[in-house]
């Protein structure tokens, strides 16, 4: 197994393929996780928490490299595995996040709230590179930025445990909640039903 302390040991072709692997896996696994959700009836919230924890495990694996050079993003093979795992979780996580967010928007106000979503999403894209740059400048190693990545993945997953999605749907007055519930189905059944990545968008 070839030793590879960073992406600098990849050729231009390998870097290009690596960059294609992530979005390709993201697209493919969106359909895989949608099928799994339909089969298991798990909630979108549960899937999103699982994705965040899985993506948090990736930089955690890199932190193992602080203590040994045997593993922990020191070899090319690890980067390929990480690219597949990250891509597999990335697309589905984004879909479930938008789906959950959309399900709690009051009808008729989707444009306003999705605009805010995009502003906070794209508008904060400078924060990660800034923190990583400061850590690299202070420590001389990019590996310390992995600690920051763990925090930004695990913290939202923990906060999501306290998000009451059924109540959010009900208070937003979404179709199928409260007084608008179809006959024959209780409000609890409707609010606890799984949400597909395509819903609410």
Tens digits of per-residue pLDDT, 156-171?
A: 999 999 999 999 999 9
SS3 content of the chain, % helix, strand, coil (to 5): 70, 0, 25
Q: What is the mean pLDDT of residues 169-184?
A: 60
Percent of the chain having pLDDT more than 70?
Answer: 83
Whether 174 shows a pLDDT value over 70: the answer reads: yes
Q: What is the mean pLDDT of residues 54-79?
A: 90
Looking at domain 7-191, its CATH superfamily turns out to be MFS general substrate transporter like domains (1.20.1250.20)
In the structure, what pLDDT confidence band is assigned to residue 31 with cuts at 50, 70 and 90?
Answer: very high
The tokens for 195 are 């949400």
pLDDT, residue 1, reads 53
Higher pLDDT among residues 185 and 89, named by residue: 89
Tokens standing for residue 92: 């589905």
Instruction: With H, G, I as helix, E, B as strand and everything else as coil, classify residue 3.
Output: strand
**Is residue 125 a contact partner of residue 132, using CB atoms and an 8 Å limit?**
no
State residue 198's pLDDT score.
42
Confidence of residue 2 (pLDDT cuts 50, 70, 90): low
Helix (H, G, I), strand (E, B) or coil at 75: strand
51: exposed, middle or buried (Cβ count in 10 Å: 0-12, 13-18, 19+): buried
User: How is residue 185 written in tokens?
Assistant: 């189905």
Which of 33, 136, 147 lies closest to 93 in space, CA to CA?
A: 33
Supply the mean pLDDT for the chain: 83
pLDDT of residue 7: 58
Can you name the residues that pair with 75 across neighbouring β-strands?
3
Question: Which pLDDT score, from 0 to 100, does residue 146 have?
Answer: 93
In tens, the pLDDT along 34-59 reads 999 999 999 999 999 999 999 999 99
| Most confident segment among 26-35, 125-134, 183-192 | 26-35
């Amino acid at each position: 197994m070839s030793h590879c302390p960073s992406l600098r040991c990849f050729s231009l072709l390998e870097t290009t393929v690596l960059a294609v692997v992530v979005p390709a896996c993201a697209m493919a696994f969106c359909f895989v996780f949608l099928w799994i959700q339909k089969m298991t009836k798990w909630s979108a919230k549960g899937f999103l928490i699982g994705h965040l924890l899985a993506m948090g495990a990736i930089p955690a694996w890199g932190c193992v490299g602080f203590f040994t050079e045997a593993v922990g993003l020191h070899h090319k093979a690890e980067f390929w595995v990480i690219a597949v795992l990250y891509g597999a979780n990335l697309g589905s996580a984004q879909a479930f996040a938008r789906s959950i967010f959309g399900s709690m928007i009051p009808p008729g106000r989707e444009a306003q709230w999705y605009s805010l979503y995009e502003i906070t999403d794209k508008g904060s894209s400078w924060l990660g590179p800034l923190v990583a740059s400061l850590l690299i400048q202070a420590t001389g190693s990019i590996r310390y930025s992995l600690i920051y990545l763990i925090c930004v993945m695990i913290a939202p997953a923990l906060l999501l445990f306290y998000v009451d999605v059924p109540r959010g749907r009900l208070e937003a007055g979404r179709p199928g909640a409260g007084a608008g519930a179809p006959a024959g189905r209780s409000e609890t059944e409707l609010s606890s039903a799984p949400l597909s990545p395509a819903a609410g968008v």
